[in-house]
Amino acid sequence: EDQVTQSPEALRLQEGESSSLNCSYTVSGLRGLFWYRQDPGKGPEFLFTLYSAGEEKEKERLKATLTKKESFLHITAPKPEDSATYLCAVERSAGGGNKLTFGTGTQLKVEL
Amino acid sequence: DAGVTQSPTHLIKTRGQQVTLRCSPKSGHDTVSWYQQALGQGPQFIFQYYEEEERQRGNFPDRFSGHQFPNYSSELNVNALLLGDSALYLCASQALNTEAFFGQGTRLTVV
């Protein structure tokens, strides 16, 4: 069974204090690893897809990287508006369909 | 582009009742998936519809059923509601094998 574990569960940063969120995964044949941002009471907002080990993607203050066992979401000089829950999900390549298996998320709070 | 739209946004039902949730996919998307998200948890896959057929199903009982219409919109039906069905229900749409985009969700409370 596919498994996704995210750490830490919660993270409190000062504005400008860079850090990384971790996503460890176990999947039988990875088609893609996805990062989403979720604000309270809202649906997840797509951030990145990573397909193979060594791949990196950037968007503003966020950078996602992928190895064969884990992914990191690096946040550089965060601002209060980056406060949200960050979700990681995997999709397997076999079996048809596009089922996403999610972790429980990292709740990020950025303070002034 | 309106993105993925879900209705209603909030709903309160009594144990034992039935509920229908609706989803209109993003323009150009033909695949719709439904997820259940309990408080403090990640979304859990319920099922996916493609070409009006259930393509894949997660570990949810038969009380959860769905439908996809020719215009790609979808419904999620839950029968015999339990207190434990209280959650945020998310609809996601995609073109096959591309990234999924989520709606804002329907908050279901069962009392």
CATH code of the domain containing B27:
2.60.40.10
Residue A97 binned pLDDT confidence (cut-offs 50, 70, 90): confident
What chain A holds in terms of domains, given with CATH numbers, is: 3-111 (2.60.40.10)
Quick one: which of B86, B107, B88, B82 has its CA closest to B15?
A: B82
> Looking at CA atoms only, how far is residue B96 from chain A in angstroms?
8
Strands A3-7, A19-26: pairing kind: antiparallel
The predicted pLDDT at position B23 comes to 98
Map residue A82 onto helix, strand or coil.
helix
pLDDT digit string (tens) for A26-73? 998 899 999 999 999 999 999 999 999 999 999 999 999 999 999 999
pLDDT digit string (tens) for B65-107? 999 999 999 999 999 999 999 999 999 999 977 899 999 999 9
Percent of chain A with pLDDT over 90: 91
> Cβ B58–A49 below 8 Å, yes or no?
no
Distance CA A107, CA B70 (A): 39
Tell me which DSSP letter residue A16 carries: T
> Cβ A97–B56 below 8 Å, yes or no?
yes
Residue A96 has pLDDT above 70, yes or no: no
Residues of B in contact with A98 (CB under 8 A): 31, 33, 48, 56, 94, 96-97, 100
Q: Would an 8 Å CB–CB cutoff place A100 in contact with chain B?
A: yes
Q: Would an 8 Å CB–CB cutoff place A95 in contact with chain B?
A: yes
Q: Name the domain count of chain B.
A: 1
> Looking at CA atoms only, how far is residue B97 from chain A in angstroms?
7
- Strand segments, DSSP code E, in chain A are 3-7, 10-14, 19-26, 30-38, 45-50, 56-59, 62-66, 70-75, 84-92, 101-102, 106-111
Residue B42's domain spans which residues?
Answer: 5-110
Distance CA A98, CA B31 (A): 9
Residue A95 binned pLDDT confidence (cut-offs 50, 70, 90): low
Tell me which DSSP letter residue B52 carries: T
- B50: nearest CA partner in chain A: A97
Question: Cα B39 to the chain's mean position, in Å?
Answer: 16
Asked if A79 contacts A61 with a C-beta cutoff of 8 angstroms, the reply is yes
pLDDT digit string (tens) for B44-58? 999 999 999 999 999
Q: Which of A41, A87, A96 sits opposite B42 (nearest CB)?
A: A87
